[in-house]
Structure 1
Amino acid sequence: MSISLLRTLILYTAVMAAVRIMGKRQIGELNPSELVITILISDLAAIPMQDLGIPLFAGLVPIVALVALEIIISFAALKSRTFRRLLNGQPAIIIRKGQLDIEKLQQLRLTTDEIIETLRKQNVCSVADVKYGVIEPDGTLTVILKQPQQPVTAEMLGLTPKDTGLPLVVISDGKLVHRSLDLLQLDARDIENRLRNQSIALADVFLMTLDDCGNTFIQRKAGI
């Protein structure tokens, strides 16, 4: 039992490391080669995990080989546009100026029901509202609306909204997050001064976020 548990932990760690090395993209955004390699890695890890008669090394070697192959393929795709298009495909325009491209839909084997469903998920009521609809290489549908249907922006209204930056967690459950402070080029004293101005103790803060524009959000711990 202990050997089986140890092998499971080792293989789990190896697969997690492999996924981290291959990148941060989500499953829905994997290109075909990444998806195939991810499936193969999971299958290869399951075999020695279930069969104790197979040497652990025999399961780890193919995983390392597949990760190395994926890195080589990714590097080649980065350097060669032709190879990248061959590997991942290219975007396909299926909607032009409010009209479906029937021939392109047939090539991609997409039904009108699938297109309408995807548009609804993007809060688009009608194909007629779409100037261009593009199927990306990862299978997602990108929609560019016609001018009258585009959302109103502050620029259109002649407004200048308050500037905002990327909010970073600087306090989590009463403890400072030093990596966020380094990114904001602040130190613990700066945060303590901000809290002191609002008569709040560091230990009483459940969450505090701060961006590079000075916008702050503070939530105290429950019962305080």
Structure 2
Amino acid sequence: MPMWLEVIVRTLVAVVVLFILTRLLGKRQISQLSFFEYITGITIGSITAYISLDINTDWYLGLIAVTVWFLVSIGIEYLQIKSKKARDWIDSSSTVLIKDGKVLEDNLKKEKLTNEELMEQLRKKSIFKVAEVEFAVIEPDGQINAMLKNEYQPLTPSQLGIKVAPEPEPQTVIIDGKIMDEPLATLGLNRKWLNTELEKLGVSLDNVNLGQVDAYGQFYVDLYDDQITVPQPQEKAVLLAQLKKCEADLEMFALSTDEKAAKKLYGDCSANLQQVIDQVKPLLIQ
């Protein structure tokens, strides 16, 4: 067999073996790999390259080496699943770096981190003052997670006593100028509705790079031609205006009648509708 052909065959075999082993080892991201998994990945990759290029050595020896590394890695993962002590010894454990707004210098030195590196990681999480941090730890994968003190955390609706209904994720109904039927069906919509919305915006399907529909039925598009200005959907604003008009009409009816029962009915309906408007207004002015 010619040398060039042998290199091609070895490389193809190495690629297939590496792909199979990678799938079997799992889908953890590089940032989530333990030290041993990181070393295993580098070693298996190096051996695979050796299999494809070193034609003076029997290829099956490289496969044996890769298989051994694979089995050892699988064994280590199984041991980690079964034993917390093994996990702590192999992956190490989290280390507290900041507590009550104070940096723990001994732990920082233990993890071989400088103050500059710590501040860099905090800034990536939009934290610029150490004094605002209640608790910060460095995880086994090297990531630093921090929790702000209560007084510096952003307010949430639950803290204000406001109940917020869950909002379904937006559905992407157009990708690269092609209609996605499954997301449309998820929303209970069809192509006729979508074509009508495109006509309202005055754009053609083949000029749409991306199209999405949110939980409230609002349709948004991103066009290939960025010079074209797409009008913003007005359904929410129209609905709010209609609700306000109904409330004003009810109030006018209450003022214009002399019959007590009718006046009370119109007044109560007006007050109830105003409460509804106050509740839905934050959603309709987005």
Q: What amino acid does structure 2 have at the position aligned with 1:47?
A: Y
Tell me the residue number matched to 1:172: 175
Q: CA RMSD in A?
A: 3.4
* Greater shift in the superposed pair: 202-211 or 146-155: 202-211
Mapped pair 1:93 → 2:117: no
The answer to whether the 8 A contact 1:165-1:213 is kept is no
Mapped pair 1:104 → 2:107: yes
* Greater shift in the superposed pair: 10-19 or 24-33: 10-19
* Greater shift in the superposed pair: 33-42 or 105-114: 105-114
Q: What amino acid does structure 2 have at the position aligned with 1:29?
A: Q
The structure having more radius of gyration, on CA atoms, is 2
110, 118, 121: which is aligned to 2:121? 118
The answer to whether the 8 A contact 2:94-2:140 is kept is yes
How has the CA–CA distance of structure 1 residues 162 and 56 changed in structure 2, closer, same or farther, with 3 Å as cutoff? Answer: farther
* Aligned length, in residue pairs: 220
Structure 1 unpaired stretches of 5+: none
Alpha-carbon offset, residue 220 of structure 1: 5.5
Mapped pair 1:192 → 2:195: no
The answer to whether the 8 A contact 1:133-1:141 is kept is yes
The answer to whether the 8 A contact 2:96-2:138 is kept is yes
What secondary structure, in the 3-state scheme, does the structure 2 residue paired with 1:133 have? strand
Tell me the residue number matched to 1:54: 57
Structure 2 unpaired stretches of 5+: 229-286
What CA distance in whole angstroms lies between the structure 1 residues aligned with 2:216 and 2:24?
A: 33
The answer to whether the 8 A contact 1:37-1:66 is kept is yes
Give me the TM-score of the superposition, normalised by structure 2.
Answer: 0.63
Tell me the residue number matched to 1:73: 76
What secondary structure, in the 3-state scheme, does the structure 1 residue paired with 2:158 have? helix
Mapped pair 1:134 → 2:141: no
How has the CA–CA distance of structure 1 residues 214 and 77 changed in structure 2, closer, same or farther, with 3 Å as cutoff? Answer: farther
Give me the TM-score of the superposition, normalised by structure 1.
Answer: 0.78
How has the CA–CA distance of structure 1 residues 31 and 193 changed in structure 2, closer, same or farther, with 3 Å as cutoff? Answer: farther
The answer to whether the 8 A contact 1:206-1:221 is kept is yes
Alpha-carbon offset, residue 72 of structure 1: 2.8
More relative contact order, 1 or 2 (CA 8 Å, 6+ apart): 1
* Greater shift in the superposed pair: 98-107 or 202-211: 202-211
What secondary structure, in the 3-state scheme, does the structure 2 residue paired with 1:154 have? coil
Alpha-carbon offset, residue 136 of structure 1: 0.7
